[in-house]
Amino acid sequence: MVKQTLYLLHEETDDNTNSRLQMLTAAAEKYSLFVQIICSANGFDVSSATPQPGDMLFNVGRGSGLAETLLTQPGVAGVRTALNPIIGSDYDTVVYSAALERAGLPAPKTIYGSVETTQQKSQCVEYLGGYPVVIKVRGLSKGVGVLYCESYASFSAQIDYLNRTNRQYIIREFFPHTAAYRITVLGTEVLASTLKPVRRNDFRTGSKDMKLINTTQSLQKISILAAAEIGSEFCGVDVIAKGEEYNILEINPPCDFTYLPSIGFDGAAEKIVAYLMRKSTQII
């Protein structure tokens, strides 16, 4: 019997790429799978990999969207539900936010695109409900480029700088949250729910000191719906909340899972590989 192969794609863009690769490789070996690791950081030669029906494909971090698109084919199990136009946009989660807004899922009111004149700036803030507002510079991560503006002076100065330096951005209403969550979705279920710290004197949510929690059914539901809307079967949905009023900040496909053992959740990599194996038997 021919062994199945798990293809792991990466572009060395994430800080813990090696940890993700090691955990998934160890999990795959438990299931007696071959593992082929493909780095597309310096381009991708499609002839270097020839997935066959029954094989599996997993992109471990941001990037490698082109390689993933080329290797995704009938009979090869992955965590994309469809080859949609946003498959190669993993460096920039804004396009996913737009998809969620289109679907009517709860999210902060957002202006997509630049504003330049004094009138446009005033109309923008009025539409968002007044100050404070939040500017998010596109293409950055981990809270970098997320700017809090509580007056016209600060807002206008930030916008002028971004326009002059040709940076793309979105502008969002400020939602005064009291809790922040990372909901990790695998397939049509929540794999893990974590509470993120709300830091004093910093409106941005933190990624350290997270802890496992049990979440409400409504929070799980909107997270699963969000994943389905962007065509991802493995992703992290970042949600801020005030009581049971939820707003989806962004969605990250794929997402980090290496921190989960340190907070008491073991076996994430094994669950990912097992999911892919189950899917491979259903589609060949």
Q: Cα separation of 22 and 13, whole Å?
A: 16
Average pLDDT over residues 233-241: 95
pLDDT over 80 (residue 64): no
Find where tokens 């070996």 sit.
29
Average pLDDT over residues 245-259: 92
- 88 burial (CB, 10 Å; 0-12 / 13-18 / 19+) is middle
Give the pLDDT confidence of 70-112 residue by residue, as tens digits.
888 889 999 987 545 454 455 567 888 888 888 999 999 999 9
Give the pLDDT confidence of 176-232 residue by residue, as tens digits.
998 999 999 999 999 999 998 887 777 777 667 889 999 999 999 999 999 999 889
The amino acid occupying position 85 is: P
Tell me the average pLDDT of the chain: 88
Nearest to 83 by CA among 71, 69, 97: 69
Q: Give the pLDDT confidence score for residue 1 in this predicted structure.
A: 56
- The structural domains of the chain, with segments of one domain joined by +, span 5-79+268-283, 94-104+176-253, 110-173
pLDDT over 70 (residue 276): yes
What is the torsional sign of CA 199, 62, 17, 81? positive
The CATH superfamily assigned to 5-79+268-283 is: Probable inorganic polyphosphate/atp-NAD kinase; domain 1 (3.40.50.10330)
Q: Give the pLDDT confidence score for residue 141 in this predicted structure.
A: 74
Contacts of 119 (CB under 8 A, 6+ apart): none
Q: Cα separation of 222 and 211, whole Å?
A: 20
Q: Give the pLDDT confidence score for residue 213 in this predicted structure.
A: 94
Name residue 112's beta-bridge partners: 170
Instruction: Please count the other Cβ atoms lying within 10 Å of the Cβ belonging to residue 164.
Output: 8
Domain 110-173 belongs to what topology? Answer: Dna Ligase; domain 1 (3.30.1490)
Average pLDDT over residues 127-133: 96
Beta strands at 34-39 and 56-59: parallel, antiparallel or unpaired:
unpaired
> What is the distance, to the nearest Å, from the Cα of residue 242 to the centroid of all Cα atoms in its chain?
22
What is the b/e burial string over 89-128, where b = at least 16 CB atoms within 10 angstroms of the residue's CB? bbeebbbbbbbbbeeebbbbebbeebbeeeeebeebbeeb
Q: Cα separation of 244 and 246, whole Å?
A: 6
Nearest to 113 by CA among 173, 172, 154, 156: 172
Q: Which CATH architecture has domain 94-104+176-253?
A: 2-Layer Sandwich (3.30)
